[in-house]
Amino acid sequence: MAEMLTIYNENEQPIGIKEREKVHLDGDWHETFHCWMFHKEGETIHLLLQQRADHKKDFPSLFDITAAGHVEAGEDVLLAGVREIDEEVGLTVVPGDLIPQGDYKEELKEGVRVDREICRIYLLPWTNDKTFTIGEEVKDIVSVPLEDMEGLMDIPRSVKGVSILNGEEKEVNRKNLVPHEKGYERYVFQAIREYVAKL
């Protein structure tokens, strides 16, 4: 059965419901849930990146948001988020665990597809007593210093990440990251820094 999404106009007002595949082909605005997980080692903040499975239709094998997905038509954003986190990385959370960071409208382009997302952004601190169990959509979970990720926005280089699952080192660079807008990345990274500063 096709996944159905609510579509929105430029002012984020709902204007109808459409099949997910058609939403991407037509470039309609739609809701997505984004959960960025992070942890601290000493004074260093580390981001957790999901490495997408090799068989994914969109951006296979690339590094991306820790857990994310579409909000289906009529679905509550937080409940969608809880579902996506469980399906993708096997963590059981409740809506109250997720820390809201506002919305960001972003356009991702891949070939003829234009993915216009109203991103509902949440943070989730991670501690190593929480064990990931990845689903079929995910290849790995990799920890990368936030400062290094910020550096990648302006300098074309590779930085080192470490798999949470097996300790293997992995290189992260602009070519193997899902191509989010730099404004989106700055928004997220700043939100994480501000949250950690209040702890």
Rounded to whole angstroms, how far apart are CA atoms 156 and 161?
A: 16
Q: How far lies 17's CA from each of 5, 29, 75, 84, in Å?
A: 6, 11, 12, 21
Specify burial of residue 48 (Cβ count, 10 A radius: 0-12, 13-18, 19+).
Answer: buried
How would residue 97 be classed by pLDDT, with cut points 50, 70 and 90? very high
In tens, the pLDDT along 144-190 reads 999 999 999 888 899 999 999 999 999 999 999 999 999 999 999 99
Tell me the whole-structure pTM to 2 decimals. 0.94
Name the amino acid, one letter, at 44. Answer: T
